[in-house]
Amino acid sequence: MTAIDDAHDPVLPDQHERQDRHDDGAGLRAERRLFDGDTGRFPLPLRQVLVRLLRGPYLDGSAEPKVWQLVLDRRAEISAYVAELFLRLSLDTERKIALLVPVDVEAPHTTTIVPRKPLRREETLIALRLRLLLDRHAGTGTEAVISRTGAREILEEHRQPGAVDDKRLEELTDSSLARLLALKLILPTELEDEYRVSGALALALPFETIDEIPAYIAAIDRSAGETLLDADTEEEL
């Protein structure tokens, strides 16, 4: 038996390199650990971005260019991570908007994360009209804005048949604007009761073509009329 046979197997150079890389990676992860049980897999800035995306409603890259660039640079890692939670990273590179969208999963005992409650009828009507407004301003260099008066006129135009309560209309206008503000689909301006339409609205209402929106609005109006008719029928019975 030779001396080599008696000794341990020799360690080749590439094995040294792999071991060095493993040690470097382990050391880096150790430095990133912030609490017991923390794996330190991602650097702190990336983890902060993930938390902000999960909290929602979106990230505005125009307001935060460094954060936007981080999302672009680590897009693959972010997408892989949120996919584990049945979410998809959606990016509008033109408007610099990033948000997470639940995906449909046909599997038992699977519930996707829904980051916000669905919009009510009045909120949806205003949002759809603003989506049309946003598209008309695209490429013009001007911002799409909506006033409280304009929002009230939208709801008045689509008021349910027989509704004459102006006080209720005022309340619905204020509550709808408050909800859209909370979701950052509209943003405050220096002027009182005037709001800027966020580019995130294009991702929040992802229609294949802008021509689909008027038909969708008409369907909402028809649905409201049918609901009212059903209620009247039940009262008669």
Q: What is the pLDDT of residues 105-140, one digit of tens each?
A: 777 766 666 655 678 889 989 999 999 998 888 878
The predicted-structure confidence for 162-174, as pLDDT tens digits, reads as follows 667 789 899 999 9
Is the model more confident about 147 or about 15? 147
The whole-number pLDDT of residue 23 equals 45
Please report which confidence band the pLDDT of residue 26 belongs to, taking 50, 70 and 90 as the band edges: low
pLDDT surpassing 90 at residue 216: no
- Percent of the chain at pLDDT > 70 equals 74
Domain with CATH 1.10.10 in the chain: 19-102, 121-236
Rg over alpha carbons for the chain, rounded to the nearest Å, is 26
pLDDT surpassing 60 at residue 2: no
Q: Residue 194 belongs to what H/E stretch?
A: strand 194-197
Which of 42, 50, 47, 12 has its CA nearest to residue 25?
42
pLDDT surpassing 50 at residue 1: no
Phi, psi of 188 (to 5 degrees): -65, 155
> For the domain with range 19-102, which CATH number is right: 2.60.120, 1.10.10, 1.10.3470, 2.40.128?
1.10.10
What are the CA-CA distances from residue 152 to residues 125, 133, 175, 221 (Å)? 11, 16, 11, 16
Q: Which CATH class is domain 121-236?
A: mainly alpha
